[in-house]
A and B are shown apart, each in its own frame.
Chain A
């Protein structure tokens, strides 16, 4: 079973993502900010990361840059999932190594579609 780390400071969003992704056969791990997500990755690297942008302690972009420059940090597929939906944020995320990008609000179909897009399902 593939594991997906869901990183978002909103417990509601984490719950919504968990419900959809569990149905798609992912094992879910949650983190509420970038630092906790990074700690989790160093302990045990997941196959997929669904990543919010704006979070306390460490934001999603900072997390992604640190992840991509660390050992095995190139392995997980990273899908941003954020209300930052302007072209400059998207370009910045892709530049930093995001594989896909979801603009909130999203629905089940979009989530499934993007995981398919990066080859996770």
Chain B
């Protein structure tokens, strides 16, 4: 059954306002596949009923749940691999020189989802322990969804999740088995701090960063929103800081504050 056109328009406008997510008419299936399980779990009859309940005055929680369902994506450890190679081979060598007086590097994983990305950064740094001894690394993960932030903070993953992208030697080294699940050891967990953050709202309170991971988020936004988000991220970065985007994303034609790093796909530097 297709979604009533007025309901579709309401959901599209709501998601645009709440999260910047662009839902084109041909992506109606995405709304259905994400929202129908939610409709069932709430004991509702249809997406129509969900929409009418979202319009009620006290529907804030329900609205958040809908945003969560639409913006949460399955994540994996060391996704795409190359960003973590860039961290080891390009960013760290540069920053260990450029920041040697303050010996502090701040890393921001924007839209950190269930934590796989910031924890992959933390494990990468741990693997370089000798090089970074005496340095202070601060990793901040932000996400719009409280549900994924809670999961990220817990650092507990299913057997399936730890087999997506995580080399077995790192599983042995940094995880402890807990029943069917695997929990990241405390020394890795405490390297990452999580906080709620919507890329469409102001985030000037989180300070400046030397490295920003913002991967596979911009693809969901329209051009204007992409530009706004990149401009805001640029304000949180020092002039020679690094930005990582997803494989299908670019700053080209969107924002002129960054230039691409030659030979390093997805890696940009503040001009």
Q: Kindly state whether residue B38 has any CB partner on chain A within 8 Å.
A: no
Q: Kindly state whether residue A101 has any CB partner on chain B within 8 Å.
A: yes
Q: Kindly state whether residue A90 has any CB partner on chain B within 8 Å.
A: yes
Q: Give A51 to B159 CA distance when docked, in angstroms.
A: 19
Residues of B whose CB lies within 8 Å of any CB of A are 76, 159-160, 163-165, 167-169, 171-172, 176-177
CB contact under 8 A between A87 and B160, given known A94-B169, A94-B172, A100-B167: no
CB contact under 8 A between A85 and B172, given known A109-B164, A117-B167: no
CB contact under 8 A between A110 and B172, given known A85-B159, A86-B177, A87-B177: no
CB atoms of B177 and A113 under 8 A apart: no
In the bound complex, residues from chain A placing their C-beta under 8 Å from that of B76 are 113
Q: Kindly state whether residue A102 has any CB partner on chain B within 8 Å.
A: yes
Q: Kindly state whether residue A121 has any CB partner on chain B within 8 Å.
A: no
CB atoms of B163 and A110 under 8 A apart: yes
Q: 15 A-B pairs, CB-CB below 8 angstroms? A: A85-B159, A87-B176, A90-B172, A94-B168, A94-B169, A100-B168, A102-B163, A103-B159, A107-B160, A110-B160, A113-B76, A113-B164, A113-B165, A114-B163, A117-B167
Binary interface encoding of chain A residues 90-121 relative to chain B, with 1 for a CB under 8 A from any of its CBs, else 0: 11001000101111001101100110010000
CB atoms of A106 and B163 under 8 A apart: yes
Question: What is the minimal beta-carbon distance from B188 to any residue of chain A, in angstroms?
Answer: 16
In the bound complex, residues from chain B placing their C-beta under 8 Å from that of A110 are 160, 163-164
In the bound complex, residues from chain A placing their C-beta under 8 Å from that of B177 are 86-87
CB atoms of B163 and A113 under 8 A apart: yes
CB atoms of A90 and B160 under 8 A apart: no
Question: What is the minimal beta-carbon distance from B127 to any residue of chain A, in angstroms?
Answer: 15
Q: Give A98 to B172 CA distance when docked, in angstroms.
A: 13
Q: Give A85 to B167 CA distance when docked, in angstroms.
A: 15
Additional A-B contact list (19), CB under 8 Å, known A86-B177, A90-B168, A100-B168: A85-B159, A87-B176, A90-B172, A91-B172, A94-B168, A94-B169, A94-B172, A100-B167, A102-B163, A103-B163, A109-B164, A110-B163, A110-B164, A113-B76, A113-B163, A113-B164, A113-B165, A114-B163, A117-B167
